[in-house]
A and B are shown apart, each in its own frame.
Chain A
Amino acid sequence: MQKLFFITKRCDGCQACEVACLEKHSQSQSIFMTKMEQPSPQPRIKVKKSGSHYWATVCQHCTDSMCVRACMTGAMQYSLTGEVSHNTNKCVGCWMCIMVCPLGAITTLNEAKKASKCDLCKDEMTPPCAASCSRQALFYGTPEEYEMKVAGD
């Protein structure tokens, strides 16, 4: 299973990933129009300064996932390939997933009464957040690829 890995030491906090995510998850697919949209789209990756470094909070698609266990509607489920997929049609906004996600990677869409998290943009070759990261602080691939290509540097 491919997912997003964040490499702290490469990140300079430019937040291009947030912008790319926001655009991708907007109805208009245009960053200039997102402010006008109702309900307003939210980025599913958030970059924050933490001490002397930056940290990007994004769903890690855990294999023994707390949110899948806590979800009382069956909206959070594993896909056949192992990602944690969130079916927003089933979501009722009970925030049980937010109650248990130890990374804080799930946010609220209050207007829509739905939870929101990274869906890995499965219709793209590479998720726009990773593609937009000029410093390659976001790596999209399998854990094995991550180990081989990134962990050693």
Chain B
Amino acid sequence: MRVIDMHYLIIGNSAAGVFAAETIRGLDPDGQITMISNEDCLPYSRCLTSYYLGNEISEEMMYIRDKAFYTETGIDFQVGYVERVDPDSKSVLLESGEKVIYDKLLIATGSSPFNPPLEGSDIGGIFELRTLGDAKAVAEFAPKAKNAVVMGAGLVGLKGAHGLHELGINVTIVGSAPQVLRHSIDIESAEILTRLLEEDGYRVHINTRVTKVLGEEDADGRMSVSGVLLNTGEKIPCQMIIRAVGVRPNVKLVRDSGVAVNYGIIVDEEMQTSVKDIYAAGDVAEAFDLLTGEKGVNAIWPSATEQGIIAGCNMAGVKRNYQGSLALNSAVICGVGIISAGLVNLPSGEGSVLRASEPDKNFYRKFVIKDGCLVGMIMVGDIEGAGILSGLIRKKAKVDVKYLQHMLVNPIEYPGYLPVERGGQ
């Protein structure tokens, strides 16, 4: 067994890992940084897999850092799968049997698709869309398919559907929720999106589940997908399926290690876990919500990078506190931009809502106000200036309602000062 001495160890080379490594390198030019990933490639963006699938970008454009990244930043990159973290000996154990020692450890292992049991799910032609490898597998299989079913109407599902649609495949989206994008937008904006998708030739089933995958023997005698059966009794013929119903944090490596896990790995304001010198960031970390203070995983790119930066600072000895995660989502569906931020659906009776809607122009805006503060917003169509509003949500300042009423139907512009109420923060 080879034992290597080092200082900073980062597991995972996506958003949180990369931003943490760069932050550490900026603060500690001499520290030893090792990154371990089970994917042997440069850091790439998982958000771009659907763009790659739809031939909108090349593989090269998937990479968020160029070829010189590891050498220029002096990062020792290793390929390996971390099986276990052992805080007592301050080391991690790789699947290969190798042991890697750390002084400060960052767990940025992300999340993996979660697939509930489904009859017939062992048949060929069923895919996930998470990694570059997944995207390549889907792209390779896609020419054999005329019809596809996408299970899940969240962002991954809709983007995956878009990628297949770009390849000329007839796509049916099946979502169990009463609307598309249920975690990021409200029912009114979801209706606009559903109409846009249907106009573009997608079939969208909401309130529906796939209960069984139907298969048939192909020319080689292997079983491959021939369709799905819905809980409504309807059969949809298809040659391929993408499962995108949700993800779960990759927490297996800390099992029985003493690192506290709820849904994700629980972290404090410094992104440190319950065990000293072990930090977590990104989709695997359970931090707290900026607005509600509730613990939860906010699996979005901007949170991952911010958490990576905060973790990197604290690992390098520069104290910096995380302000909490803000739900933020941006997507372009059928050429129409949608941005949402914060709490877009308050329980009835709480707060107030400003709304402007012109469905035939694909324009929709909703501002959610609570206790005089803007706490959530949705913009469909003209999305310029969205950051001004998400900035106001982040600031938790009392906002002048007249300003918001004006912004509801006009271009959103920064007026050179914060449009907060007198006496506000």
Q: What are the residues of chain B within 8 A of A93 when measuring CB–CB?
A: 332
Q: How far is the CB of B137 from chain A (nearest CB, A)?
A: 21
Q: Residue of A at shortest CB range from B64?
A: A74
Q: What are the residues of chain A within 8 A of B384 when measuring CB–CB?
A: 98, 104, 107-108
Q: Is the CB of A95 within 8 A of B339?
A: yes
Given contacts A57-B414, A74-B64, are A94 and B309 in contact (CB under 8 A)? no
CA distance A101 to B383 in the complex (A): 12
Given contacts A53-B416, A92-B51, are A100 and B387 in contact (CB under 8 A)? yes
Q: How far is the CB of B25 from chain A (nearest CB, A)?
A: 13
Q: Mark B9-25, 1 if CB is under 8 A from A, else 0.
A: 00000010001000000
Q: Is the CB of B387 within 8 A of A94?
A: no
Q: What are the residues of chain B within 8 A of A8 when measuring CB–CB?
A: 416
Q: Is the CB of B383 within 8 A of A95?
A: yes
Of the four ranges (under 10, 10 to 19, 20 to 34, 35 or more), the interface on chain A belongs to: 35 or more
Q: What are the residues of chain B within 8 A of A98 when measuring CB–CB?
A: 330, 339, 383-387
CA distance A50 to B407 in the complex (A): 13
Interface residues of B in 403-425 (CB under 8 A from A): 412-417
Q: Mark A84-128, 1 if CB is under 8 A from B, else 0.
A: 000001101111111111111111100000000000000000000
Q: Is the CB of A70 within 8 A of B302?
A: yes
Given contacts A92-B48, A100-B328, are A50 and B63 in contact (CB under 8 A)? no
Q: What are the residues of chain A within 8 A of B127 when measuring CB–CB?
A: none
Q: Residue of B at shortest CB range from A94?
A: B330
Q: Is the CB of A73 within 8 A of B64?
A: yes
Q: Is the CB of A108 within 8 A of B383?
A: yes
**A66 on interface, CB distance cutoff 8 Å:** yes
Q: Is the CB of B48 within 8 A of A102?
A: no
CA distance A55 to B339 in the complex (A): 25
**A135 on interface, CB distance cutoff 8 Å:** no
Q: What are the residues of chain B within 8 A of A102 when measuring CB–CB?
A: 387-388, 390-391, 394, 414
Interface centre among B65, B309, B416, by most A CB within 10 Å?
B416
Q: Is the CB of A72 within 8 A of B57?
A: no
Q: How far is the CB of A4 from chain B (nearest CB, A)?
A: 15
Q: Is the CB of B61 within 8 A of A99?
A: no
Q: Is the CB of A104 within 8 A of B48?
A: no
**A10 on interface, CB distance cutoff 8 Å:** no
**B56 on interface, CB distance cutoff 8 Å:** yes
Q: Is the CB of B412 within 8 A of A104?
A: yes
**A51 on interface, CB distance cutoff 8 Å:** yes
What are 21 A-B interface contacts by the 8 Å CB criterion? A48-B413, A70-B305, A72-B45, A72-B47, A73-B47, A73-B48, A74-B45, A74-B65, A90-B61, A98-B383, A98-B384, A99-B302, A99-B329, A99-B339, A100-B302, A101-B387, A102-B388, A102-B394, A103-B387, A104-B385, A105-B414
- If A70-B301, A99-B302, A103-B414 are given as contacts, then 8 extra A-B residue pairs at C-beta distance below 8 Å, sorted by A number, are A72-B47, A73-B47, A92-B48, A92-B57, A95-B330, A99-B341, A99-B390, A104-B413
